[in-house]
Amino acid sequence: MTKPGRVIKSKDYQKHPFWFRSVNYLWEKSHRMGGKPLLEKDDLIRAAMKETGLSDLGKDFPDEPLDRLLQSLNQEAELHPIGFFISRKRLINLLSVRLRAEHLFKKHPEILDREILPTIVIIGLQRTGTTKLHRLLTADPENRVLRSWEAINPAPFHSGLRNRDRRRQSARNSEKALKMIAPGFFAIHPVEFTAPEEDILLLDVTFMSTTPEATAHVPSYASWLETIDQSYAYHYGGKLLKLLQWQHPGKRWILKSPHHLEFLPLVEQYFNRPLFLWTHRDMNACIPSFLSMVSYSRSIFSEKVTMKEVAGHWIRKTSYMLEKGISFRQQQGKAELFIDIDYQSLVSHPIDQLKRIYAKLGGLTPELLERFRAAEKENPYGKYGIHEYSPKDFGLGSDELGQRNPAYIGLLNEIRDRQKS
C-alpha cells in the first residue's frame, strides 16, 4: 500500500515495480517466439462456458459490441503481456457474469418482475468529489449501494446464490493485485473491495461502456460507441440492478458514474425516478487529475502510453459529455431533477451538502447525522498518499479548458449566482 504522505505525481504513471517490468520483459520474449496472442471471441466464450458450466448468453446477446472492442484491443491498444492477461481474464469474467445472470433470470423469473428501486444518481465529471459523496451516502442504511465485490460479480456464482464469500474473495484478490501492480494508483483513486463502486461496471457486461477508453487506447471502438443507440446497455444494466436488489433489497439506489452524464435520457428512461446529484469543480483541477488517473490506469495494460494522447482523447470526450448533460438539463422541466454540489463546499462542509440532499428525502435524523459524521472520519484526505497534478503536465494553458467548454462555464456561473442569492 502507498504510504500516507507519499506524493504521487502525474509523470510517475509508468513507475511500476521491478517484478512487474521483469515479468513483462520475459513474457514478451516468449510471445515473440510464438507470435503475438490475440483476444478471440470464440475462445473467450468457450472459457466462460467452461468456468460456469453454463451455455446460454441469452437470446438478445449482441455480438457487435464485443467484436468491435476485441478488434480495437487487438489492433490499437498495444497491450503488454500482463495487460493482455488481465484483459482476457476480465472479458471472460464479464461473459461469465452474463451466463450466470441469464441462468438466474430463467430460474427465478420473479427477479425481472420487480421494479427498480428509486434512484439517486451522482453524475459529476471525474475527480469532482463523486467518490467522496458516494461513500458518505453509503452511511445511510436505507441507501442501497453497489459494493465493489458486487460490481465485479453482480450475479452470484453458480455454486450458491446467497453465498457472498467467493465474490468477496475474488474482489479482495483484485484489490491486492492492483496494489502490487500500481501502488500509487490508490493515492489517486482507492479501489477497496467492500467500498461502493461505479455502476458503469454493470454496463460493461454489455460491452457498451466508456471503461475501455479509460484503460486502453481504443479509438475506433470509442468512436463507434458515440454513434450507436445505447438503450440496450441501460436496459440490461437495469436487469442487473433488479438481480442485485433481489439478493439484497433497500429503500433507494445510490448510483454513481460520470459515464451517465452522456446518457441522462437513458438513465431517466430505464432507471426509476432518478434524482441527479451533479458535482462541480474547477476544470483546471478535475480534468488534469482525471488525465493523470487515466495515464496510470492505461499503463497497467500497455507500455505505449503518452500523456499527450490521453489528454487529446479525454479533453474532447469530456467536452462531449458536458454538452450532452447540459442539453438534457436545459429541456423543459428537467432542471428540477438536479441538485448541484460544489466540490469545495463538499470537502469543507460535507454535512451541509448532505442536508441539502436530504431536504428532498424527508430530512436528516440525529442518528443519521452521527452516521455521516463517522463516515467522514473514515476516509481522511491523503489516506493512501497525496496526488499532485497540473494542467501544465498535459500541455494545457491556464484558461484552455474553460475556453473549450463555454456552456459549462456559463452553467457554473449560473449555479454560483443562484446559490449566493
Domains delineated in the chain: 7-16+118-420 (3.40.50.300)
Question: What mean pLDDT, rounded, does the chain reach?
Answer: 92
3-state secondary structure 399-414: CHHHHHCHHHHHHHHH
Closest CA to 389 of 292, 283, 282, 280: 292
DSSP for 355-388, written as a single string: HHHHTTTT---HHHHHHHHHHHHHS-TTTT-EEE
Amino acid, res. 300? I
Read off the pTM.
0.93
Contact predicate 100/315, CB 8 Å = no
Residue 321 pLDDT greater than 90, yes or no: yes
Residue 364: all three cell numbers together = 436528516
pLDDT at 89: 97
Whole-angstrom Cα distance, residue 174 to residue 215?
A: 15
Which residue is associated with the grid cell 454535512? Answer: 351
Instruction: Tell me how far apart the terminal alpha carbons of the chain are, to the nearest angstrom.
Output: 45
Residues 251-297 pLDDT 10s = 999 999 999 999 999 999 999 999 999 999 999 999 999 999 999 99
DSSP for 287-339, written as a single string: HHHHHHHHHHHHHTTBS---HHHHHHHHHHHHHHHHHHHHHHHTSTTTGGGEE
Residues 243-252 pLDDT 10s = 999 999 999 9
Contact predicate 337/260, CB 8 Å = no
Contact predicate 405/322, CB 8 Å = yes
Residue 161 pLDDT greater than 90, yes or no: no
pLDDT at 384: 82
Kindly give the residue spans of alpha helices, DSSP state H, lying in 125-210. 130-137, 148-152, 165-181, 185-188, 200-203
- Comparing 236-240, 291-295, 335-339, 411-415, the range with the smallest average pLDDT is 411-415
Bigger pLDDT: 187 vs 350: 350
Please compute the mean of the pLDDT values over residues 315-336 and round it to a whole number: 96
Residue 15 pLDDT greater than 90, yes or no: no
Please compute the mean of the pLDDT values over residues 10-23 and round it to a whole number: 89
Task: Reduce the DSSP state of residue 153 to 3 states and report it.
Answer: coil
Chain center to CA of 316: 19
Please compute the mean of the pLDDT values over residues 219-245 and round it to a whole number: 98
The pLDDT-based confidence of 377 (bands split at 50, 70, 90) is: confident
pLDDT at 159: 57
Residue 160 pLDDT greater than 60, yes or no: no
Residues 19-76 pLDDT 10s = 999 999 888 887 766 678 999 999 999 999 999 999 999 999 999 999 999 999 999 9
Residues 70-87 pLDDT 10s = 999 999 999 999 999 999
